[in-house]
Amino acid sequence: MIGRRLPYLDKCSSECLNTSMDRAAKRAFKTNLFEQFARIGKALANGNRLEMLELLAQKERSVEELGRLTEMSTANTSQHLQVLRRARLVDATKDGLYVRYRLADPRVFELWQALRDLGKDRIAEIDRVVHSFLKERSTLKPVTTKELRQRLKDGSAIILDVRPAEEYGAGHIRGARSIPLGELKSRLRELPKSREIVAYCRGPYCVLADEAVVLLRSHGLKAFRFERGFPEWKAHGFPVEMAFPVAG
């Protein structure tokens, strides 16, 4: 018997080896799989890149335009965009001498929206940051999405888009009027004091609508801020238009 391996030991060794190999293969599979998902998380783990996603939710933009809006150099902006592109969160198209970027999929905005809303619910510091800068917001009771839909249905309010004109042209809430914030003071006479005005801009943390409401109220108009923005409205499938505004 010495020097001979028992049959059941050979069988056990084979089964144990196969089990060990299966376990290693499964672990490698899981590690690789979750690392691929983590590419998206790594791309989102930067405030500048999150701001870019919100800006691209309004319209496609060039590197130079994004750099101007985020107050970063063109080189730095381009590096951030490449990270987003490698994670398949944005796409790019050559436009003459420029490269224009856009969200790769509507779900990219939905992902940012979910992250933003979760952060608001779970991180108290977000509210503190908002209230420390937007001091008037606590006195500006917002109009909800449901309330805005009703106002559009019955025509009881003027819906005012205070984003830049090119963003309005790329897409806006159906029936909204375009008066960019920078032109609002000089165009106040276009807005009747007899009607309610609901101003909206890029999203819940965009300051343009807050500034517009403060300005309108200081001139005796009944104004309110929409609690969300154009991308959220569009994401819900509510009516939108794409048309360039006529000045004045």
DSSP 109-166: HHHHHHHHHHHHHH-HHHHHHHHHH-GGGGGSPPBPHHHHHHHHHHT-EEEEE-S-HH
> What separation in angstroms does the CA of 124 have from each of 118, 119, 120, 129, 141?
11, 8, 7, 9, 20
Residue 206 designated active-site:
no
Residue 147, helix vs strand vs coil: helix
d(CA 163, CA 18): 63
Q: At what angle do helices 7-44 and 106-122 cross, to 10 degrees?
A: 90
Catalytic pick from 12, 16, 201, 206? 201
Q: State the catalytic residues.
A: 201
